[in-house]
Amino acid sequence: MSRNILIFIETKEGKIRNVSFEALAAARKAAEGGNVTAALFGIHKPEYIEGIERYGADTLYIAEDESLSVYNSDAYTQACCQMIERVQPDVIFMGHTGLGKDLAPRVAARLQLGLISDCTAFEIEGDSLIFTRPIYAGKAFQKKMFNEGSIFATLRPNNFEMAEAPATLAVESFQPEIKDIRTVVKEVVRKTSGTVDLSEAKVIIAGGRGVKSAEGFQPLAELAKVLGAAVGASRGACDAEYCDYSLQIGQTGKVVTPDLYIACGISGAIQHLAGMSNSKIIVAINKDPEAPIFQIADYGIVGDLFEVVPLLTEEFKVMLVTS
């Protein structure tokens, strides 16, 4: 069954987020020969179009309204709703990011659509798409599907293959009617751990209370630099003011699914595990051999992180030089 699919493209700091490319790849699979349409809001760059074409969209609508230059929930909700009404897609995909978590429910409520959020996979059974999403803080998974109406789902970053499939892209302008904006964005203040986006990082080095101080994150940052990784933290480390809450991973922080997660001085509270337990490979470094983190770790190192992490850093430097 062919399906027409609409993808909302999300940008951050001048680049298209990887989850949007993952959504395009997922859309090609779900479309089964149907049309894949992308929507891009705000000021665009030529490389945006090149990337969207490289990852397989058939049509791109660009809305360059001034009110869409930065994310504003009122303006984006109106633009998204108008785009959906124009395209009339069978399926709508959006990244399960901070923006997507805010925008998708608003759009779904306004258009009276069902919404399946935080999807980690989907499968095709006959004429139906069946989505998988985690529940109970990641301790179980449920499968959900739509019985009628347009399919609307948000996709968790790092869970869908980002595969290129160049296509001939038709680019069209779209001018939404934006009115009655109740909020005004005066300034965007960004807090970040470096150049790697934590929610999309393939490798994460995370620290807990075991780092003992803000300075204790320095060895982790050095290892992250060598591996091109992002630095994260447990809530305990954030509560102790060792680092900013923008680095928090867990049930009340960011949910991440990197290829490699190295937990340093993290005991493994259930709230933290909810945010990283679906990582492909988990390495735990802790002085306590009974720490709960070892129960889910693929590899465990019992030792002082201030001794182990520098040794790992030096070893990875040697490996990367000789490889």
pLDDT class of 195 with cuts at 50, 70, 90: low
32 touches 82 (CB < 8 A):
no
The confidence score (pLDDT) of residue 42 equals 86
C-alpha 129/C-alpha 125 separation (Å) is: 6
Q: Is residue 186 pLDDT above 90, yes or no?
A: no
Mean pLDDT rounded to a whole number for the chain:
92
| 187 compared with 156, residue with greater pLDDT | 156
pLDDT per position as a tens digit, 74-100 = 999 999 999 999 999 999 999 999 999
Beta pairing, strands 36-41 & 59-63: parallel
Element (H, E) at 307: helix 305-322
pLDDT per position as a tens digit, 109-156 = 999 999 999 999 999 998 899 999 998 877 889 999 999 889 999 999
The confidence score (pLDDT) of residue 322 equals 77
- Mapped onto helix, strand or coil, the DSSP state of residue 128 is strand
CB-based contacts of 182: which residues, under 8 Å, 6+ apart? 74
Q: Is residue 6 pLDDT above 90, yes or no?
A: yes
List the domains of the chain with CATH numbers.
5-173 (3.40.50.620), 198-322 (3.40.50.1220)
pLDDT per position as a tens digit, 256-314 = 999 999 999 999 999 999 999 989 999 999 999 999 999 999 999 999 999 999 999 99
The confidence score (pLDDT) of residue 199 equals 85
The confidence score (pLDDT) of residue 194 equals 55
Considering only the C-alpha atoms of the chain, give the largest distance between any 2 of them, rounded to a whole number of Å. Answer: 60
C-alpha 155/C-alpha 100 separation (Å) is: 9
Give mean pLDDT, residues 27-36.
Answer: 93
β strands within the chain, DSSP E: 5-9, 11-12, 15-16, 36-41, 59-63, 91-95, 116-119, 121-125, 128-135, 140-144, 151-155, 170-173, 203-207, 230-233, 260-264, 281-286, 299-302
- The number of beta carbons lying within 10 Å of the beta carbon of residue 139 is 11
Give mean pLDDT, residues 183-193.
Answer: 72
Percent of the chain with pLDDT over 70: 98
The confidence score (pLDDT) of residue 94 equals 97
**Does the model's pTM come out above 0.75?**
yes
Q: Is residue 192 pLDDT above 60, yes or no?
A: no
